[in-house]
Structure 1
Amino acid sequence: MRSELFATLLPLVYGACFLGLLWQAFKIMSRGFAAVPRPGDQPRAPRGDRTGRLTIHPELLDADGQLTRDDLLTVRFSGDNEQPASPNDPS
């Protein structure tokens, strides 16, 4: 009895999962297709353009939300041909 119920429900559950995943795939692909400009489309200003904006990573902030004044550790890999920069170097 239990085996018959399982055999009856398995194709239904499988089909529902398949249709749900197919729907998600089409939603994601439609966003990608909408991002490509087509001939005749009106030019749009990009949303969220961060050109020229300063980004401060949260690791550089202290407990008060200010830039930390502590010395920061850096990692150098062997084979780097650059000269090490001094802490007072403005570049």
Structure 2
Amino acid sequence: MNALLSQLFPLLYGACFLALLWQAFKVMGQGFKAIPRPGDQGAAGSGLASQPQVQPNSDRTGRLTIHPELLDADGQLTQEDLLTVRFSGDNEQPAVPGDPS
């Protein structure tokens, strides 16, 4: 019985590995098909012709995205002042305390 399992285990392991590898390639293929490329617009059989065209300056959903932390308890945009942080870059002049500019 032990000899049978020692011979069967590599075969089962290899079969599982190949099945998972096949599934991984199928999932990656779906991801690659989700991104439209210049040659894919209106191509027959691509399935992209029936979908609405997204404006270039909007996000991938075609909807305005608002972060939930910008909404108040009623779901409206908050009117409170927001804290912002600005990081200076390497190409800016350092501020001098007595500098009028």
Question: What range is the shorter-chain TM-score in?
Answer: 0.5 to 0.7
> What do residues 38-80 of structure 1 show as CA deviations (whole Å, max 9, x unaligned)?
8962771445836474321111012221211222111100238
Whole-angstrom CA distance in 1 between matches of 2:7 and 2:71: 59
Figure out how many residues of one structure are paired with residues of the other and give that number: 80
TM superposition shift of 1:10: 3.0
Whole-angstrom CA distance in 2 between matches of 1:18 and 1:64: 51
TM superposition shift of 1:22: 1.9
Q: 1:41 aligned to 19, 37, 44, which one?
A: 44
Matched residue type, 1:62: D
TM-score by length of 2: 0.50
Task: Go from structure 1 to structure 2 and tell me whether the alpha carbon gap of 1:61 and 1:48 turns closer, same or farther (over 3 Å shift).
Answer: farther
Q: 2:65 aligned to 55, 58, 66, which one?
A: 55
For structure 1, which runs of at least 5 residues remain unmatched after alignment?
82-91
For structure 2, which runs of at least 5 residues remain unmatched after alignment?
93-101
Task: Go from structure 1 to structure 2 and tell me whether the alpha carbon gap of 1:63 and 1:33 turns closer, same or farther (over 3 Å shift).
Answer: closer
Q: Is 1:28 aligned with 2:27?
A: yes
TM-score by length of 1: 0.54
Whole-angstrom CA distance in 2 between matches of 1:48 and 1:5: 59
Task: Go from structure 1 to structure 2 and tell me whether the alpha carbon gap of 1:54 and 1:77 turns closer, same or farther (over 3 Å shift).
Answer: same
Whole-angstrom CA distance in 1 between matches of 2:42 and 2:72: 50
RMSD: 3.7
Report SS of the residue matched to 1:22: helix
